[in-house]
Amino acid sequence: MHTSKPVRKTFLKNLILLQGLNLIIKPFWLLVIDRKAQILLGPSYAQYYIVFNLAVVLNILLDIGIQSFSNTGVAADKQFFKVNFKQIVLAKLFLSLLYFAAVMGVGLNSGMGAKLLLIIAINQILTSFVLYFRTNINGLHFYTIDSILSVSDKFFGILFCIALFYSDMIDVFWFAYAQLSATVISFLIALVLNIKYYRQIERSDNLATFSFKGLLLKSLPFALLFALMGFYTRMDVLMMNWLLPDAVFHCGIYAQSFRFLDAAAMFAMLFSGLLLPMYARLLSAREDVRPLSNLASTVLALVSITVASSAVFFGEDLLYYMYKINDVEQLRLSASVFGNIMLAFIPMSLIFVFSTLLTAKRDLLYLNIFAAAALICNLVLNLILIPKYQSFGASVSSLCTQSLFALLCIGRCFYLFKFKLTMKESLKFAVFIGALTGLSFVVKSLQSLELVLLTFGAGAVLIAFAVKIIDWRQLLITFKRPSQ
């Protein structure tokens, strides 16, 4: 347990920097820039959203699991980066051609516009390279640089989109071009840094070089996992597009709510990026992963429960504030979809902790079985619920799917690593949820939504300390203890 304190300290310090940057940039992109674009573009934004989801679903062809495989490899031994960098880049170039052909082929056959498909496909290809370059930087433990790169594309995208808004040049193509331009800048920065670090490392022949075939074989389990998780997360929109005659309307409603989940998931996803190399290092050194897992899961559980509760308790007010929905029935439908989608943030947050631990453990057989079960659950529920309940049915399917995968991952981790959930800890969270529910009735009487959300969030922090889910003494000990 003593050896884990420096790891927890490193995790917390880098998490604060990473979350600080992302809480400033990415929510501004999603909740201001992207929302503004949807309002200005109207129905054409729904078409953009459908094309974007197709491009994301087919992302498996861009990576085939190389990103996760490389991250764990570099974290365990920096020679992995030195020995395999060129081969991986060449492999990703080949995969990019396959991906481009697949997106254009599927999209054109589905009646999507060629120009928009082209822009979004190229953007996804460059984004995939940026993510790969970041895994090398992260695996080499340059967490600060990786934190800056994690928001660079959105930062430049915000600047370009603000210029478009003020020059009144916004249309769906300029919106896509702005994102592509921002990604190009991030790509160039990340590439230069990778070349720099590559040259600084002395090569050793102790680590084997992977051929393209070898990379495929080693990374395919990661690829399958990535594909299955991508499918069950993004299939809702595509299935609404296939199953509903008024798909554009319901995809628009779903996009309004999913934007908030995207913003929240970015917060949780950053934990995964920090945890993977730390887990890999702890496991290779045969150290205890439980203290780090407990810290990460506790923080994410508190945040996700608070965020999801806000969506359930204040959903209609928040959606009206953001989108000015005047139709009462549409607002109620949007709020019901919003509540379910944001409740899915709770299991999704825990997935980022426990599936990451299983990935670092290379327990990919079980992870893929769990993800396949989640995908089947998602497809069956969508086929049953979407024709009858439209976007609300899709949101129910999303909540059930994320919950199933989370429970399976948590159960596997409890079995492998002997985790324990005590009655005392369970009661603390039960009290926390009950106190949040009571607090919601109190703050509803406040005059402005901003004050309601601010008071609710501050109250959640105080409750967490009051019931001792967060122990301030342990936090002080963690930060006072010098890293060895």
pLDDT of residue 330 exceeding 70 = yes
Amino acid at residue number 276: L
Beta-carbon neighbour count of residue 42 at 10 Å? 11
- Position with higher pLDDT, 242 vs 207: 242
The closest of 343, 406, 382, 375 to 236, measured between CA atoms, is 382
E-state strands within 357-418? none
How far, in Å, are 23, 335, 337, 396, 477 from residue 330 at the CA level? 30, 8, 11, 17, 51
In a domain, residue 156? The reply is yes
In a domain, residue 201? The reply is yes
In a domain, residue 161? The reply is yes
**Averaged over 403-410, what is the pLDDT?**
96
**Averaged over 133-140, what is the pLDDT?**
84
Overall number of domains in the chain: 1
In a domain, residue 338? The reply is no
The vertex-58 CA angle with 55 and 63, nearest 5°, equals: 110
Return the pLDDT at 401. 96
| pLDDT tens digits for range 245-263 | 888 888 888 888 888 888 7
pLDDT of residue 16 exceeding 70 = no
In a domain, residue 371? The reply is no
Q: How confident is the model at residue 324 (pLDDT cuts 50, 70, 90)?
A: confident
In a domain, residue 116? The reply is yes
Checking 143-148 for CB contacts under 8 A at 24+ apart, the result is 143/10, 143/14, 143/17, 143/18, 143/274, 144/14, 144/17, 145/193, 146/18, 146/273, 147/14, 147/17, 147/18, 147/21, 148/21
- Position with higher pLDDT, 377 vs 65: 377
In a domain, residue 160? The reply is yes
Return the pLDDT at 252. 84
pLDDT of residue 284 exceeding 90 = no
Question: Model-level pTM?
Answer: 0.74
The closest of 376, 118, 139 to 277, measured between CA atoms, is 139
In which domain, by residue range, is 95 found? Answer: 24-210
In the three-class reduction of DSSP (H, G, I as helix; E, B as strand; rest coil), residue 285 is classed as coil
The closest of 322, 261, 230, 273 to 19, measured between CA atoms, is 273
| pLDDT tens digits for range 348-388 | 999 999 999 998 888 989 999 999 999 999 999 999 999 99
Separation of alpha carbons 328 and 252, rounded Å: 16
- Position with higher pLDDT, 225 vs 346: 346
Return the pLDDT at 206. 62
Separation of alpha carbons 1 and 186, rounded Å: 39
Contact 211, 87 (CB under 8 A): yes
**Averaged over 216-236, what is the pLDDT?**
78
In a domain, residue 43? The reply is yes
Separation of alpha carbons 386 and 379, rounded Å: 10
